[in-house]
Amino acid sequence: MGNYHIHEDERIDDLQCKGYQLIQKPQGFCFGVDAVLLSDFVRVKPGQRVLDLCTGSGVIPILLAAKTEGEHFTGLELQQEYADMAGRSVALNQLENRIDIVCGDVKDGKELFEPASFSVVTVNPPYMTDNHGLKNIYEPKTIARHEVALCLEDVIALASYVLPESGSFFMIHKPFRLAEIFDVMKRYHIEPKRMRLIHPYINKEPTMVMIQGTKGGRQRITIEPPLVIYSEPNVYSDEIHEIYGK
């Protein structure tokens, strides 16, 4: 394995994908099913360079390195402790030649990256606005879940800056913000092209949505069949088993 160490308050989780593992902090913000589903929704062609915003533990770049033939993956993370942890996970999996982690602010992205320097941008951003929902007293969790350090427009503005014409943007978010999401994407010349709603059960309203956009794309969006998490209480659907099996 690469050069890494584990802190006393951390654990190593098996990603069940090519033997890759991830260092996580149990009392911190751990990745969930949304990161796994987004990594399955994302399309990366051989040789492409990918930027993952709000990368947290680095789970999405590591999963994409396992699942795709992308040339290089960069994770941008604001919080130093998570950026450090993600970097150690990269070393743990000996992926230093394919993944690098940058500690920095999305708002400073134009100083960190060149324009049109990535073919694909992915993001699993904070879902809740600063005045929406209960905040966790553990600040790193609050930053991960609430827009206290950045807003939706910051994310999409940077995506538009680093993507060339026809570059791809992939995001998972909350359906109740869809109108705002589409409005901001269009203002930054990223056309929504593909969308999939995620439902906990087939008869329940969706709780997440995955969106693909194309910079400078034409106006046409494909709505994919809904993705259902559970077939019955505590039993994952066949498609979820298939996604995790990948």
Q: Are 77 and 86 in contact (CB under 8 A)?
A: yes
Question: What is the token pair recorded at 185?
Answer: 């994407």
Q: Which pLDDT value is given to residue 16? A: 81
Q: Which pLDDT value is given to residue 144? A: 43
pLDDT tens, 116-146? 999 999 999 987 654 444 344 445 544 444 4
Domain ranges of the chain: 11-192
Q: Are 206 and 229 in contact (CB under 8 A)?
A: no
The contacts of residue 197 (CB under 8 Å, 6+ apart) are 175, 206, 208, 209, 226, 227
- Which architecture characterizes domain 11-192 according to CATH? 3-Layer(aba) Sandwich (3.40)
pLDDT tens, 149-189? 689 999 999 999 999 999 999 999 999 999 999 999 999 99
Instruction: Evaluate if residue 147 carries a pLDDT over 80.
Output: no
pLDDT tens, 58-85? 999 999 999 999 999 999 999 999 999 9
pLDDT tens, 187-245? 999 999 999 999 999 999 999 999 999 999 999 999 999 999 999 999 999 999 999 87
| Secondary structure letter of residue 134 according to DSSP | P
Strand partners, 99: 73
Q: What is the pTM (predicted TM-score) of this model? A: 0.89
Distance of CA 206 to the CA centre of its chain: 19
Q: Which pLDDT value is given to residue 152? A: 95
Q: Which pLDDT value is given to residue 52? A: 98
DSSP reduced 3-state for 130: coil
DSSP reduced 3-state for 195: strand
Choice between 227 and 30, residue whose per-residue pLDDT is larger = 227
